[in-house]
Amino acid sequence: MPRPESSYDRRRLRQWLAGDARADGVARRDLLKLLAAAGLTTAAPVALGTPAAAAAAAATTVAAPGIVKPLPDDWFTIRGTNAETKFPSLAGTGYHTPIDHFFVRNHTSTPVLDARTWKLTVWGDGLAREEPVEFGLDDLKRFPATTRTAFVECAGNGRSFFTTQQGQSVTGTAWTLGAIGTARWKGVRLAEVLRAAGLTRRAVDVMPRGLDAEYVTADGANLGHVRRPLPLSKALDDVLLAYEMNGEELPPDHGHPVRLLVPSWVGISSIKWLGDIEVAAQPLYSPWNTDFYRLFGDAYPEGGSASLTHQTLKSAFELAWNASLPAGADHRLTGRSWSGAGGVGGVEVSTDGGTTWRRARLYDAPRRAGWVRWSTDWRPTTPGTYTLLARATDTTGRRQPETTVLNTQGYLFDAVVRHPVQVF
Ligand SMILES: Nc1nc2c(c(=O)[nH]1)N[C@H]1C(S)=C(S)[C@@H](COP(=O)(O)O)O[C@H]1N2
Ligand SMILES: [Mo]
């Protein structure tokens, strides 16, 4: 898969070296690591305007996850401040994930914002005017509306399988496969709003930022509001400022009143509870494209891979882990597969631990930024433990591998998952 971000990344770094890029809240040593990794080392000392993360806010412990919607046990697994969708609960829910089943990934907790007083501020030296431009929700709704179906998936979805399937330790939320949901998003193209705000040819990066509380790491470093730069090329392509989800007003947990929707890209790109967007004539950095959301580890350069863009390829059964199924009966196994690189064009299933494979029946055409539903029928004859596997091939021709190369933060797990069931 082509990754234009990696050449852009090198350009961004060169500009930072030349003093032309801004990196508020990013430790200088982290950028130096990135430079070394990109082979862009320098003899001259590098000046950095803003000191790294202001120190140590008091550690806060949250008993409740800070999520507004109900999280019934049948549908969700609570993981810290987050709620993972239980895949079996998606069986029969249709193509679009109902809002009440949709996973929630919160760095802190859901802020409840008033749409009537909410404003989006667009500002920065990539715009024609020096003054910030403000848009209320009604202003955004006056632009032509666009509707897109797309999944939002956390880059760490599937992370727990690095440990349970590959015996490796990684940091971060131990998701199984339920940190994904697909919705119909309605909103206005970011390109339209940027143009209305006076976008100039100087602009290279935009930095959307959330209104949720500042994020304080486990070591007490305050990283500020959740924000991650987006290259202008993607910002002008298919990105939406979304104010509706599945035909309803965007709900609090998913970014009310307005979130960014960045199709196919790592979930962190789709900033919720948008407050402002900086449009910069220089490349931008935040901890979410330096410390996080790059691949680190033995297989990767010192300072990590390029900043992550597309999600990877995955498949999941809509079936409980260790489900009990009677022998000598017909079972319809159902599931979903998806890819950030293109649509999924084929899915194969094995019910014997990977020895033999057969094609699953697909219910959806391959669709960029979407998933396909599939099924296969199975009649196990003998009681025992069986391992079910599903592996997808996407429209770029990529098939899910047997293992995923380790990265220390456990992003982009794409290996075939071995799903145990008990036949009795
Ligand atoms: N403001 C803000 N935006 C955010 C986050 C956040 O914590 N705060 N989490 C990000 C991450 S890591 C993911 S995976 C998605 C999850 O979107 P969802 O909660 O609507 O499923 O939102 C992204 N946008
Ligand atoms: Mo995420």
pLDDT in tens, 110-141: 999 999 999 999 999 999 999 999 999 999 99
How far is 247 from 360, CA to CA, in rounded Å?
A: 31
Backbone angles phi, psi at 221, to 5 degrees: -85, 125
263 and 341 in a single domain? The answer is no
258 and 383 in a single domain? The answer is no
Count CB-CB contacts under 10 A for residue 174.
Answer: 18
- Measured in angstroms, how far is the CA atom of residue 254 from the centroid of ligand 1? 8
How far is 314 from 411, CA to CA, in rounded Å?
A: 12
- Provide mean pLDDT across the span 213-242: 97
- Measured in angstroms, how far is the CA atom of residue 18 from the centroid of ligand 2? 32
Query: Which ranges constitute the DSSP H helices of 84-197?
Result: 137-142, 160-164, 190-196
Q: Which atom in ligand 1 lies closest to the alpha carbon of residue 210?
A: 1
How far is 6 from 307, CA to CA, in rounded Å?
A: 7
Boundary (domain end) residue, out of 289, 323, 342: 289
94 and 240 in a single domain? The answer is yes
188 and 285 in a single domain? The answer is yes
Decide if 79 contacts 104 (C-beta within 8 A). no
122 and 271 in a single domain? The answer is yes
Q: Which atom in ligand 1 lies closest to the alpha carbon of residue 104?
A: 19
How far is 143 from 135, CA to CA, in rounded Å?
A: 11
324 and 275 in a single domain? The answer is no
Task: Give the pLDDT band (50/70/90) at residue 29.
Answer: low
- Provide mean pLDDT across the span 155-178: 98
Task: Give the pLDDT band (50/70/90) at residue 20.
Answer: low
- In a domain, residue 27? The reply is no
- Measured in angstroms, how far is the CA atom of residue 77 from the centroid of ligand 1? 17
- Measured in angstroms, how far is the CA atom of residue 99 from the centroid of ligand 1? 15
pLDDT tens profile 43-87? 333 322 222 322 233 333 334 589 999 999 999 999 999 999 999
228 and 177 in a single domain? The answer is yes
Boundary (domain end) residue, out of 289, 323, 349: 289
pLDDT of residue 42: 40
How far is 159 from 169, CA to CA, in rounded Å?
A: 10
What lies within 8 Å, CB to CB, of 370 at 6+ separation is 95, 149, 150, 151, 182, 338, 343, 364
- Please tell me which residue, 11 or 396, carries the higher pLDDT value: 396
283 and 320 in a single domain? The answer is no
Residue 32 parent element (H or E):
helix 28-37
- Measured in angstroms, how far is the CA atom of residue 271 from the centroid of ligand 1? 6
Which residues have C-beta atoms less than 6 Å from ligand 1?
102-107, 152, 154, 181, 210, 212, 226, 254, 267-268, 270-273
pLDDT of residue 32: 56
Q: Residue whose CA is closest, atom 10 of ligand 1?
A: 268
pLDDT of residue 26: 72
pTM (2 decimals)?
0.88
Q: Report which bound ligand comes closest to the CA of 275.
A: 1
Full domain range(s) for residue 338:
314-423
Q: Which atom in ligand 1 lies closest to the alpha carbon of residue 272?
A: 3
**How crowded is the C-beta side of 379, counted as CA atoms within 13 Å?**
3
Count CB-CB contacts under 10 A for residue 271.
Answer: 27
215 and 126 in a single domain? The answer is yes
Decide if 305 contacts 290 (C-beta within 8 A). no
Decide if 10 contacts 38 (C-beta within 8 A). yes
Per the structure, the count of domains in the chain is 2
Q: Residue whose CA is closest, atom 23 of ligand 1?
A: 268
Count CB-CB contacts under 10 A for residue 63.
Answer: 5
Residue that has been written with the tokens 């899910």 in this structure: 400
389 and 270 in a single domain? The answer is no
pLDDT of residue 54: 28
pLDDT of residue 58: 33
How far is 158 from 180, CA to CA, in rounded Å?
A: 10
Q: What is the CATH number of the domain that holds 95?
A: 3.90.420.10
Decide if 390 contacts 317 (C-beta within 8 A). yes
Q: Residue whose CA is closest, atom 1 of ligand 1?
A: 210
Q: Which atom in ligand 1 lies closest to the alpha carbon of residue 153?
A: 14
Q: Residue whose CA is closest, atom 21 of ligand 1?
A: 104
Checking if the pLDDT of 188 tops 60, the result is: yes
Mean pLDDT of the chain, nearest integer: 90
- In a domain, residue 52? The reply is no
- Provide mean pLDDT across the span 320-334: 98
Checking if the pLDDT of 260 tops 90, the result is: yes
- In a domain, residue 352? The reply is yes
- Please tell me which residue, 106 or 36, carries the higher pLDDT value: 106
Q: Residue whose CA is closest, atom 15 of ligand 1?
A: 267
| Residues written for the chain | 424
For a pocket test of ligand 1, which of 78, 100, 105 has the largest count of ligand atoms closer than 8 A to its C-beta?
105
89 and 180 in a single domain? The answer is yes
- In a domain, residue 233? The reply is yes
- Measured in angstroms, how far is the CA atom of residue 138 from the centroid of ligand 2? 29
- Measured in angstroms, how far is the CA atom of residue 107 from the centroid of ligand 1? 7
- Please tell me which residue, 325 or 65, carries the higher pLDDT value: 325
Boundary (domain end) residue, out of 234, 256, 289: 289
Q: What is the 3-state secondary structure (H, E, C) of 200-248?
A: CCCCCEEEEEECCCCCECCCCCECCCCECCEEHHHHCCCCEEEEEECCE
- In a domain, residue 179? The reply is yes
Q: What is the CATH number of the domain that holds 361?
A: 2.60.40.650
Strand 146-153 and strand 133-136: the pairing is unpaired
- In a domain, residue 404? The reply is yes
- In a domain, residue 206? The reply is yes
340 and 255 in a single domain? The answer is no
- Measured in angstroms, how far is the CA atom of residue 279 from the centroid of ligand 1? 21
Q: Report which bound ligand comes closest to the CA of 226.
A: 1
- In a domain, residue 25? The reply is no
**How crowded is the C-beta side of 163, counted as CA atoms within 13 Å?**
15
